Amino acid sequence: MCGIFGYVTSDEENLGPILIEAAKRLTYRGYDSVGAATLNNGKVDLRKDVGKVEDVSAKYNFAEMRGSRGITQLRWATFGEPSQINAQPHIDSDGDLVGAHNGNVVNNVELRQQFIDEGMTVRSQNDGETCVHGVERYLNRGYEFIDAIRLAYGDLQGDYAFVIGRANDDKLYAFKKGSGMVVGIGDGFTCVSSDLPSILPLTRKIVRPQDGEIVTLWSDRVEVRSVKDGRVIERKPEFVTESMDAVQKGGYPHFMLKEIHEQPQVARELLHLLDGSPEVENLVEKMKKARHLYFVACGTSYHAALIGSVYFAQIAGRPAIPVLAPQFIAQYAPAVGYEDVGVFVSQSGETKDVLNALEAAEKRGMASYGLANVIGSTLTKATSFCLPLCCGYEISVPATKTFTNQVITFLYLAYRMAGRDTRELEKIPELMEATMDATSSQVESIAKDINQWNDMYCLGYGATFPIALEGALKLKEITYAHCEGMLSTEFKHGPLSAVSKGFPIIFVAGPNDVPLIISGVNEVKVRGARTIVIAEDDPRLRANADDVIALPKSDANISPLLGVLPLQMLSYHMSVMRGFDPDFPRNLSKTLTVD
Whichever domain contains 36, its CATH number is 3.60.20.10
> Is residue 110 located within the same domain as residue 165?
yes
In a domain, 503, yes or no: yes
Contact 431, 68 (CB under 8 A): no
pTM to 2 decimals?
0.82
In a domain, 351, yes or no: yes
Return d(Cα 309, Cα 469) in angstroms, integer: 15
> Is residue 339 located within the same domain as residue 394?
yes
In a domain, 429, yes or no: no
Return d(Cα 322, Cα 343) in angstroms, integer: 10
Domain residues for 459? 434-586
> Is residue 241 located within the same domain as residue 287?
no
> Is residue 201 located within the same domain as residue 219?
yes
In a domain, 426, yes or no: no
In a domain, 593, yes or no: no
What SS3 class is residue 228? Answer: coil
Which position among 2, 131, 298, 390 bears the catalytic label? 2
For residue range 345-392, what is the model confidence (pLDDT) as tens digits?
A: 999 888 889 999 999 999 999 999 999 988 778 898 899 989 999 888
Query: Region 318-330: what's the mean pLDDT?
Result: 97
In a domain, 592, yes or no: no
For residue range 429-485, what is the model confidence (pLDDT) as tens digits?
A: 999 999 999 999 999 999 999 999 999 999 999 999 999 999 999 999 999 999 999
Return d(Cα 181, Cα 196) in angstroms, integer: 8
pLDDT at 170: 92
> Is residue 209 located within the same domain as residue 240?
yes
> Is residue 192 located within the same domain as residue 258?
no
For residue range 184-228, what is the model confidence (pLDDT) as tens digits?
A: 999 999 999 988 888 989 999 999 999 999 999 999 999 999 999
CA distances from 421 to 99, 170, 276, 434 (A): 36, 48, 14, 23
Count up the domains in the chain and report the number.
3
CA angle 314, 316, 388 (to 5 degrees): 105
Per-residue exposure over 46-79, b if at least 16 CB sit within 10 Å of its own CB, e if not = bbbbbbbbeebbeebebeebebbbbbbbbbbbbb
Among the three residues 420, 448, 481, which one is the final residue of a domain in this structure? 420
Among the three residues 203, 220, 248, which one is the final residue of a domain in this structure? 248
Report helix angle 401-418 to 559-577, nearest 10: 170
Among the three residues 248, 275, 290, which one is the final residue of a domain in this structure? 248
> Is residue 334 located within the same domain as residue 322?
yes
Return d(Cα 461, Cα 290) in angstroms, integer: 28
Q: Tell me how far the alpha carbon of residue 59 is from its chain's centroid.
A: 31
> Is residue 195 located within the same domain as residue 53?
yes
pLDDT at 591: 58
The model's confidence at residue 166, banded by pLDDT at 50, 70 and 90, is: very high
Strands, sheet with 386-388, edge to edge from the N-terminal-most edge strand: 321-324, 293-297, 341-346, 367-372, 386-388
pLDDT at 227: 95
The model's confidence at residue 592, banded by pLDDT at 50, 70 and 90, is: low
In a domain, 594, yes or no: no
> Is residue 229 located within the same domain as residue 258?
no
Mean pLDDT (the chain, rounded): 93
> Is residue 389 located within the same domain as residue 497?
no
Whichever domain contains 523, its CATH number is 3.40.50.10490
Query: Region 233-244: what's the mean pLDDT?
Result: 86
> Is residue 523 located within the same domain as residue 561?
yes
List Cβ neighbours of 549 (8 Å cut-off, separation of 6 or more). Answer: 439, 442, 443, 446, 532, 533, 534, 535, 566
Q: Is pLDDT above 60 for 256?
A: yes
> Is residue 141 located within the same domain as residue 211?
yes
State percent of the chain over pLDDT 90. Answer: 82
Provide the 8-state DSSP code for 216: E
In a domain, 591, yes or no: no
Active site residue 2: yes
Return d(Cα 566, Cα 380) in angstroms, integer: 32
Return d(Cα 168, Cα 147) in angstroms, integer: 18
Which position among 205, 286, 352, 590 bears the catalytic label? 590
pLDDT at 101: 95
Q: Is pLDDT above 80 for 245?
A: no
